[in-house]
């Protein structure tokens, strides 16, 4: 059996999308301990992949250099301490610390889920990172409960698409979103069921206050960072929470931002990540996804919104498409 495989690699170790290429001499991973070796059929793109490609994402120590954290495929073999309930040949999808842009991936069985027959391979490849991230932000960090109101920034991004559906199923009193185009705002309301969506190029925080009769929202999930910091504080209700998951808008808060409401409104502003978490933490989220979300995927309550499926030989174009910020949903690549 060959000890090498094809995998997406980066010329010079980092750089623009044009540096991506398929390396046919990549060492094939060997599963150890709790791991399974999965032959990958499809993988999903995430914004962290762009940052990692540019050398701007700090990798956890257990992550391979190959990009990609979510995938679907079939199990080929196991390590010596794999989780029970999985067998060679099983159709699965899952979350990994890295390595999904490849023909094979070694991943903990604690992060695998059996593929439901009701879902396609493409759909399954677009679930793990986005839905687990949204679940973590909403419940574990944001302490969401039925009856609370929620605002999701970057409303047409995959995590926010997942989050708006989770919020609705969880009994949110109102669901708001922001996006940088009227088309994406319309998508959030008409396709995802948001109460309202606001164009982020305007004073969206003021619009939130108008929509809530001056109260504000109980929970904000933010991927933007510095440029939304002040407006988040303005838009939050008393005892509100903002969960910050990204820094697309930079890391330095603009001058003149008034932090007084942090104290006066008793706000909690918390950052969080998923990829750097240990296997036990991620495994609990996997269990929550499997127990509570998968049944809703099966009956059609939850939907994986896919922008496009591309051959992995076009991975450079796939990255460029994500960088364009014009998508509404997942970009999925098929390994051929």
> What's the total number of domains in the chain?
2
> Same domain for 252 and 158?
yes
Query: pLDDT, tens digit, for every residue of 186-205?
Result: 999 999 999 999 999 999 99
Q: What is the mean pLDDT of residues 303-315?
A: 98
Residue 290 lies in a domain: no
How far is it, in rounded angstroms, from Cα 118 to Cα 98?
Answer: 27
Give me the chain's average pLDDT, please: 95
Q: Are 143 and 255 in a shared domain? A: yes
- Residues 112, 142, single domain; the answer is no
- Tell me: the pLDDT tens digits for 108-132? 999 999 999 999 999 999 999 999 9
Determine the 3-state secondary structure of 155 from DSSP.
coil
d(CA 305, CA 126): 8
Q: Domain boundary residue among 271, 290, 317?
A: 271
CATH of the domain at 235: 3.40.50.720
Kindly state whether residue 299 falls inside one of the protein's structural domains.
no
Per-residue pLDDT reduced to its tens digit, 4-14: 999 999 999 99
Q: What is the mean pLDDT of residues 250-271?
A: 92
Among 129, 63, 60, residue whose Cα is nearest residue 93: 129
Which residues lie below 8 Å from residue 90, measured CB to CB, with a gap of 6+?
74, 75, 114
Domain harbouring 329, CATH code: 3.90.180.10
Write out the two tokens for 246: 């990204």
Q: State the chain's maximal CA–CA distance in angstroms.
A: 66
Q: Which residues contact 32 (CB under 8 A, 6 or more apart)?
A: 79, 80, 106
Q: Is residue 208 very low, low, confident or very high in pLDDT (cuts 50, 70, 90)?
A: very high
Instruction: Please tell me the predicted confidence (pLDDT) of residue 83.
Output: 77
Helix, strand or coil, per DSSP, at residue 131: helix
Cα 52 from Cα 210, distance rounded (Å): 39
Q: What is the DSSP string of 202-260?
A: S-HHHHHHHHTTT--EEEEEESS-GGGHHHHHHHEEEEEEEEE---TT-SSPPTT---H
pLDDT band at residue 1 under the 50/70/90 scheme? low
Q: What is the pLDDT of residues 144-189, one digit of tens each?
A: 999 999 999 999 999 999 999 999 999 999 999 999 999 999 999 9
Q: Within a domain: residue 279?
A: no
Task: Find the domain containing 25 and state its range.
Answer: 4-127+304-334
| Alpha carbon distance 106, 68 (integer Å) | 12
Q: What is the pLDDT of residues 94-113, one digit of tens each?
A: 999 999 999 999 999 999 99
């Amino acid at each position: 059996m060959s000890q090498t495989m094809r995998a997406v690699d980066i010329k010079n170790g980092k750089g623009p999308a044009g540096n991506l290429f398929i390396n046919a001499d990549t060492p094939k991973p060997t599963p150890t301990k709790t791991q399974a070796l999965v032959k990958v059929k499809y993988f999903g793109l995430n914004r962290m992949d762009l940052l990692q490609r540019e050398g701007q994402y700090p990798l956890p120590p257990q992550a391979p250099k190959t990009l990609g954290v979510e995938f679907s495929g079939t199990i080929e073999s196991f390590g010596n301490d794999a989780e029970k309930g999985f067998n060679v040949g099983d159709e699965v999808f899952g979350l990994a610390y890295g390595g999904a842009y490849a023909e094979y991936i070694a991943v903990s069985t604690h992060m695998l889920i059996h593929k439901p027959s009701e879902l396609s391979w493409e759909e399954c490849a677009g679930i793990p990172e986005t839905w687990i991230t949204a679940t973590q932000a909403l419940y574990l960090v944001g302490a969401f409960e039925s009856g609370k109101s929620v605002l999701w920034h970057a409303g047409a991004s995959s995590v926010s698409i997942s989050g708006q559906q989770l919020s609705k199923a969880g009994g949110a009193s109102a669901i708001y979103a922001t996006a940088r185009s009227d088309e994406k705002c319309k998508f959030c309301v008409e396709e995802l069921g948001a109460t309202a969506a606001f164009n982020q190029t305007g004073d969206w925080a003021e619009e939130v206050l108008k929509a809530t009769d001056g109260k504000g929202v109980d929970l904000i999930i933010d991927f933007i960072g510095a440029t939304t910091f002040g407006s988040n504080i303005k838009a939050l209700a008393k005892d509100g929470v903002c969960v910050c998951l990204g820094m697309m808008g930079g890391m330095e808060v603009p001058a003149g931002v008034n932090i007084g409401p942090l104290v006066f409104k008793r706000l909690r502003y918390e950052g969080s990540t998923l990829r750097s978490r240990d296997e036990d933490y991620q495994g609990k989220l996997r269990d929550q996804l499997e127990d509570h979300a998968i049944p809703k995927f099966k009956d059609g309550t939850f939907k994986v919104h896919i922008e496009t499926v591309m051959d992995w030989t076009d991975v450079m174009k796939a990255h460029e498409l994500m960088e364009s910020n014009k998508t509404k949903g997942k970009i999925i690549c098929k390994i051929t």
